[in-house]
A and B are shown apart, each in its own frame.
Chain A
């Protein structure tokens, strides 16, 4: 059996976990390739105009997997539904709706859904067990699979965290890039925004929402991805010389926190870059070049 996993949106961050679980139970996984211009074009073709750039990219990734499915290379595509990753903290509404959107768009494709909802005690562990039941995996294997999968995810997050920290280089200017993981770590967006930022050390803030550092900025935050962004800011704020907030257009969760973050990063050069599928590199290049000049702080006269 072969199952496809879209390498985008909320799912991407959990790929190590889902892959480990499926591979442990002798199911092959196919992960969609990195975002390219074609991915975005494919996504835009399917999406409604109101959807955000991240979900357009997501649809492009699913389209790639659907093509494989239609060529009988895949047996199903995994699309988890996330409601709450913590009690009282919601995931973005997109994370709840993905499966239903996809079953509506691609009617003859087999999607596998699995719910995560901490308010109903469906943790990631439980959701993996449920996934095992759906896939008719026996009791022992699904239990061990879920156990190893969570360990794998923990290891991945720890490694990423350590790597981010090792990346800080005090001999150069450190620029923190914040935003939702699926935006700042998307290869296409990364290249579009950061390719003209030279001679600086770039740190990506991807922090798990289990940390409570965000409370320094705001006691109450509604969305879990906002918490991740805020935790990222708090984690690195003492080490950085500048900060770039990359936000997808139109992102509701980012729009609730960008002013708060701006307030927090007061005395450091800060810029917010908004990207959508129409964003040309020309406008961004001018902004990033002048931002580099601000970071450098060179006096020409």
Chain B
């Protein structure tokens, strides 16, 4: 049996899966990135190795990375496939729901919509300029109201008269919410208003003229919040599916991509327990002045990210 590893290094959390030839997840883990992707990947790889059985550890034929730190970690870990998160999420979701048409994804700092037709992504949109209406928005407002993010769904269920809150901007939403609280709205109504505001923001920004067809799968950290899921259901008037492994679908997708791109050579899952140094510098090698990230493996230059030409490697 051949095995494949997928690692999704996101802004908030780092996820890893090991799959077999039938795309079945045989090991997985989910840890916080804590703004240190190299450290998080080390911990993740070590924990996957610990959970491993001898059989798969020696029969890996592909390693894929995705997420915002995909290139950095991909280079350190020697990944065979490095893929953007949009394609990875789409592939992961299609493997579980072959008839999926729409993927709604709301994560910690970004939200996206992915439209799929016959198993191929045909359109997508991603938030560009600001993070209003994402997980970060929800958690900061929950903090303001003095409740835990996990409690949001319980409050949502108790709400009878959701407050109307503008979600186009986190700062405006906050002043809106405080104003509503001062005039006597209950906490549960405010929370329900927030969940509705996220959905409102999403439909205004992403759905705009796109035809939303069944089946709709909702992913990302915010999909764990049943308040937002309920709000989506009533807004779109359609069934919304949330997978139990929804947080792993990006990692699963990139593992499947590494399977399809595998050249049939065995690879070793290994992240050396040595210090990786990252130096960021504006290169002066030519007029492009690229912001180059230099990755050093114990003083030896391993690779660079962000360069447009090779001059930066000689001009350190």
Residues of A within 8 A of B (CB): 33-34, 36-38, 188, 191, 195, 269-270, 274, 280-283, 285-287, 289-290, 293-294, 297-301
Contact = CB atoms under 8 A, between A and B. Distances in A.
Interface centre among A34, A289, A300 (most CB of B within 10 A): A300
A195 B308 contact: yes
Contacts of B256: 300-301
B211 to A, nearest CB: 12
A221 to B, nearest CB: 21
B128 A299 contact: no
A269 B115 CA distance: 11
Nearest to B70: A286
A33 B257 CA distance: 43
23 contacts: A33-B287, A34-B287, A36-B289, A38-B287, A38-B289, A188-B288, A269-B122, A280-B291, A281-B291, A282-B68, A283-B128, A286-B68, A286-B126, A289-B83, A290-B86, A290-B121, A293-B83, A293-B86, A293-B87, A299-B120, A300-B91, A301-B91, A301-B98
Interface string B108-137: 000000000001111110101000000000
B96 to A, nearest CB: 10
Given A191-B308, A283-B128, A300-B257, A293 B84 contact: yes
Contacts of A37: 287-289
Which of A34, A290, A297 is the most central at the interface, judged by chain B CB atoms within 10 Å of its CB? A290
Nearest to A39: B287
A294 B288 contact: no
Given A286-B85, A300-B257, A294 B94 contact: no
A36 B288 contact: yes
Contacts of A33: 287
A35 to B, nearest CB: 9
Most chain A Cβ neighbours within 10 Å, of B83, B287, B306: B287
B35 to A, nearest CB: 15
B260 interface: yes
B84 A286 contact: yes
A300 B260 contact: yes
B95 interface: yes
A191 B95 CA distance: 35
A282 B85 CA distance: 12
A294 B123 contact: yes
A270 B287 CA distance: 31
B176 to A, nearest CB: 25
Interface residues of B, number: 28
Top 8 closest pairs, chain A to chain B, by CB:
A290-B86, A37-B289, A36-B287, A289-B84, A293-B87, A300-B260, A290-B84, A300-B91
A230 to B, nearest CB: 19
Nearest to A249: B129
Contacts of B124: 290, 294
Given A195-B308, A293-B86, A301-B98, 17 more contacts: A37-B287, A37-B288, A38-B287, A269-B123, A281-B306, A283-B128, A286-B68, A289-B84, A289-B87, A290-B87, A290-B124, A293-B87, A293-B121, A294-B123, A300-B91, A301-B256, A301-B260
Contacts of A282: 68
Nearest to A267: B122
Contacts of B308: 191, 195
Contacts of A300: 91, 256-257, 260
A287 B112 CA distance: 11
B119 A299 contact: yes
A274 B289 contact: no
Contacts of B306: 281
Name the residue in B86, B87, B122 with the highest tally of chain A Cβ atoms < 10 Å from its Cβ.
B87
Contacts of B86: 286, 290, 293
A294 B287 CA distance: 33
A77 to B, nearest CB: 21
Nearest to A288: B84
Interface string B281-300: 00000011101000000000
A38 B282 CA distance: 12
A298 B118 CA distance: 11
Nearest to B258: A300
Contacts of B87: 289-290, 293
A274 B128 contact: yes
Nearest to B128: A274
Contacts of B288: 36-37, 188, 191
A53 to B, nearest CB: 14
A195 B23 CA distance: 33
A286 B287 CA distance: 24
Contacts of A36: 287-289
A301 B68 contact: no
A301 B121 contact: no
Contacts of B83: 289, 293
A301 B128 contact: no
Contacts of A281: 291, 306
Contact of B95 (A269, A270, A287, A301): A301
A33 B288 CA distance: 12
Nearest to B87: A293
Most chain B CB atoms below 10 A, which of A191, A283, A301: A301
A117 B98 CA distance: 59
Contacts of B84: 285-286, 289-290, 293
A188 B289 CA distance: 11
Contacts of A283: 128
A291 to B, nearest CB: 8
Interface in B228-265: 256-257, 260
Contacts of B91: 300-301
Nearest to B86: A290
